[in-house]
Amino acid sequence: MTSRLILYCWRFLTAVVPHAPMRDTGGGGFLTRLARNTAGNTAMIIAGAMIPMMAMVGGGVDAGRLYLVQSRLQQACDAGVLAARKQMGAMSNFNAATDTKTVADRGTRMFNVNFSGGMYGSTGRGFTMTIQDDQSIAGVATTTVPMTLMQIFGAQPITMTANCTAQLNAPNTDIMMALDVTGSMNEINQGDSSPKIAILKTVVKNFYTAMESYKQPGSRMRYGFVPYSTNVNVGALLADDWVVKSWTYPSRTLVGSGNTNGTYTYNTSADLVSGTGYPSTYTFNASYNNQTHTYFCAQPANTLTSKTNTISSTSTAVTGPPAGTRTVTTYEVVYNGATYDTATRSGTTCTSTKTTYTNYTLQYQTITEPKLGNGSQWWYKDVTKDVSGWRTGSNGCIEERGTYEITDYNNVDLTKALDLDIDTVPTAGAPATQWRPQYPAVVYDRAWLWNGTGSWSTADVTTQTEYVSPYYGGFADCPAPAKKLQTWTSSDLSTYIDGLQAGGSTYHDIGMIWAGRLLSPTGLFASENANVSPTRPTSRHLIFLTDGQTSSYDLSYGAYGVEPLAKRRWSPTSTLTLTQTVEKRFSFACQQVKNKNVTVWFIAFGTDLNPIMTECAGTGHYFSAANATELSAAFETIARSIGELRLSQ
User: Would you place residue 60 in the very low, low, confident or very high pLDDT band (cuts 50, 70, 90)?
Assistant: low
Flag whether pLDDT at 52 surpasses 90.
no
Domain boundary among 323, 340, 374: 374
Domain boundary among 330, 356, 374: 374
Residue 481 sits in the same domain as residue 510? yes
Give the pLDDT score at 217. 72
Residue 156 sits in the same domain as residue 180? no
CA neighbor of 358 nearest in space, from 280, 302, 278, 276 = 276
Domain boundary among 374, 404, 419: 374
Chain-centre distance for alpha carbon 478: 23
Residue 132 sits in the same domain as residue 281? no
CATH number of the domain residue 543 falls in? 3.40.50.410
Residue 231 sits in the same domain as residue 297? no
Residue 497 sits in the same domain as residue 574? yes
Which residues span the domain enclosing 121? 43-167
Give the pLDDT score at 599. 96
| Residue 29 belongs to some domain of the structure | no
Q: Where are the beta strands (DSSP E) in 373-519?
A: 377-386, 398-399, 436-437, 445-449, 461-463, 467-468, 483-486
Give the pLDDT score at 171. 76
| Residue 455 belongs to some domain of the structure | no
| Residue 308 belongs to some domain of the structure | yes
Let me know the angle formed at the C-alpha of 512 by 590 and 243, rounded to the nearest 5 degrees.
120
Residue 229 sits in the same domain as residue 356? no
Q: How far is Cα 316 from Cα 213, in angstroms, rounded to an integer?
A: 52
| Residue 649 belongs to some domain of the structure | no
Give the pLDDT score at 562. 98
Residue 568 sits in the same domain as residue 481? yes
| Residue 339 belongs to some domain of the structure | yes
Q: List, in sequence order, every residue forming a beta bridge with 126; answer none if it has no partner.
A: 142
Instruction: Give residue-wise pLDDT tens across range 197-248.
Output: 999 999 999 999 999 988 877 789 999 999 999 999 999 999 999 999 999 9
pLDDT over 70, % of the chain: 87
| Residue 337 belongs to some domain of the structure | yes
Residue 71 sits in the same domain as residue 183? no
Residue 95 sits in the same domain as residue 228? no
| Residue 565 belongs to some domain of the structure | yes
Sequence-distant (≥ 6) Cβ neighbours of residue 85 within 8 angstroms: 136, 137, 166, 167, 168, 645
Residue 191 sits in the same domain as residue 99? no
Residue 514 sits in the same domain as residue 598? yes
Q: What is the DSSP string of 497-525?
A: HHT----S-B-HHHHHHHHHHHH-TTSTT
Average pLDDT over residues 381-403: 97
Q: How far is Cα 523 from Cα 515, in angstroms, rounded to an integer?
A: 12
Instruction: Give residue-wise pLDDT tens across range 534-562.
Output: 777 899 999 999 999 999 999 999 999 99
Instruction: Give residue-wise pLDDT tens across range 579-601.
Output: 999 999 999 999 999 999 999 99
| Residue 1 belongs to some domain of the structure | no
Flag whether pLDDT at 5 surpasses 50.
no
User: Would you place residue 627 in the very low, low, confident or very high pLDDT band (cuts 50, 70, 90)?
Assistant: very high
Q: Is 333 exposed, middle or buried (0-12, 13-18, 19+ CB in 10 A)?
A: middle
Q: Give the CA diameter of the chain.
A: 160
Q: What is the DSSP letter of 157?
A: P
Residue 205 sits in the same domain as residue 323? no
Over the chain, what is the mean pLDDT?
89
For the chain, the domain total comes to 3
User: Would you place residue 65 in the very low, low, confident or very high pLDDT band (cuts 50, 70, 90)?
Assistant: confident
Task: Give the predicted TM-score (pTM) of the model.
Answer: 0.78
